[in-house]
Copies of this chain bind each other. A is one copy, B any other.
Amino acid sequence: MPVDSVRTAGSAEESRVYTHEAINLILPEVRELIAANQPQEIRQSLEDWHEVDLADLLEALEKPEERLTFFRAWERDEALALFEELEDEVKAGLLEDLTHRERLWLVNAMSPDERADLFAEIEPEERPKLMALLSPKARAEIHRLLEYPPDTAGGLMTTAYVAVRQDITCEEATAIVRKAAETAETIYTVYVITDTGVLVGVISLKTLILSRAGTPVSEAMETAVISVNVREDQEDVAYRLRTYDLTAIPVVDNEGHLMGIVTVDDVLDVIREESTEDIQKFGGMEALDEPYPKIAFGRMVKKRASWLSALFIGEMLTATAMAYFETEIARAVILALFVPLIISSGGNSGSQASTLVIRAMALGEVTLRDWWRIITRELATGVALGTILGTIGFLRIIIWQAVRPIYGTHFLLVASTVFCSLIGVVTFGTFAGSLLPFILRKLGFDPASASAPFVATLVDVTGIVIYFTVASLILSGTLLK
């Protein structure tokens, strides 16, 4: 059984490889069964497959008519589960090929948040066609869900939750849960509301099951409800779900009315997307917003070129700064040799500092008010790190000179210049790297855009100025006369 190898695979990478291999192994057989139109045999040979893997398998079939036959092989519930796991564009393609009757059933049976996502994804001119298929209730739900931007609590939420009034008993509530179980996204947390729909408590199915006969819901429920506002950012939803160890979080409007819930599985995807965005920004580019192996070449080059060009134009200032010290370089070419070493050390220490601060901000460990404490600590760190690197640089020149004397008679002065410059450059790099995220956040920008290479560029120019200024001071009577 191929799926068994999926389950016991050794790593995330391997497990993905195994899923792909399992699909490649079984694909010819599935194709034959499709050609012979044997739905029962298809189901049998894929009995133990999870719908997530079945969706991958369907996507591996390229011809629309193959996909259609494969999809029709499954019974209603299985087909629905499989359908919800498909990519939105595959969903849209499949929908077009189904009969009107099948389509009608499918779009009305989908969970409200998946339906809203599909709706947002399809071509605008296709939307009225899809809308016409929906029940009035589903249509109202779509309108309600599409009201909010996709990266807010409202954009993530589903309306498939179970809510009960606070004045009923736990048995009555359990009966409501049982009835709602078919369609609700989660029945394990039940939300308690007033007559006007204001969220006043939550009660777990566990508590309902364990409660004594006749207990009112209002007595058994938990009143310390953690919720999010419908307009809050998805990062805040993730933050609160994680902090309070929830599997679903209720979404309320400004007046506290229960609007929907966000479940943890959707939040896991959000966390992955947000981390990818942050990491790509750290890497010095716009977030791709598409999987790297799938994005079109032109679009990728454009996203990467825009940042690279901006950095390049900033970095041009290094040539201007160097030109300013052209006379010094002409007099002592040896100074030019250490330029890359000095400025890259500043850049590296700057990226370290900005990475640490930005990440700590994203985790909520550091806030704007901490700026003074952080900056002073980073300044001290910068001096310490600069002294360490300066000492290594100093020793390197001394030792090198002993082995192969290429630095001339003033090698001790050159070594001192490198030592002092490194302290200055690394301290400035660390300082700038830690300050910049605070400034960007204060100005309302995303600090992750103060990505490492941006700091590096700023520090490069300053590094050249610091280095040659130190050199002028130390070498003015000797090498630079």
A: residues with CB less than 8 A from B are 3, 7-13, 15-17, 47-50, 52, 177-178, 181-182, 187-188, 205-206, 209-210, 223-229, 232-233, 235-236, 238-247, 264-265, 268-269, 271-272, 275-276, 278-280, 282-285, 288, 291-293, 297, 300-301, 304-305, 307-309, 311-313, 315-316, 318-319, 322-323, 326, 329-330, 333-334, 336-341, 343-345, 347-349, 351-352, 354-357, 359-370, 374, 377, 380-381, 384-385, 388-389, 392-393, 396, 406, 426, 452-453, 456-457, 460, 464
Cross-chain contact B283 with A388 (CB below 8 angstroms): no
Please indicate the chain B residues that have their CB under 8 angstroms from the CB of A8 in the complex.
Answer: 229
B52 pairs with A366, CB closer than 8 A: no
A333-B330, A340-B464 given as contacts; is B392 within 8 A of A232 (CB)?
no
- Are A309 and B389 in contact, CB atoms less than 8 angstroms apart? yes
- Contact at B293–A360, with CB atoms within 8 Å? yes
Can you name 11 A-B residue pairings with CB atoms under 8 Å? A13-B364, A48-B224, A279-B355, A285-B356, A288-B356, A292-B356, A297-B377, A308-B348, A308-B388, A312-B341, A347-B453
The answer on a CB contact under 8 Å between B322 and A226 is no
Q: What is the CA–CA distance of A118 and B283 in the complex, to the nearest angstrom?
A: 37
One of B47, B280, B336 near A356 (C-beta < 8 A)? B280
Write out the residue numbers on chain B whose beta carbons fall within 8 Å of the beta carbon of A284.
348, 351-352, 355, 452
Contacting pair B282 A363 (CB below 8 A): no
Collect the chain B residues with CB atoms within 8 Å of residue A360's CB. 291-293
Q: Which residues of B contact A322 (CB under 8 A)?
A: 336-340
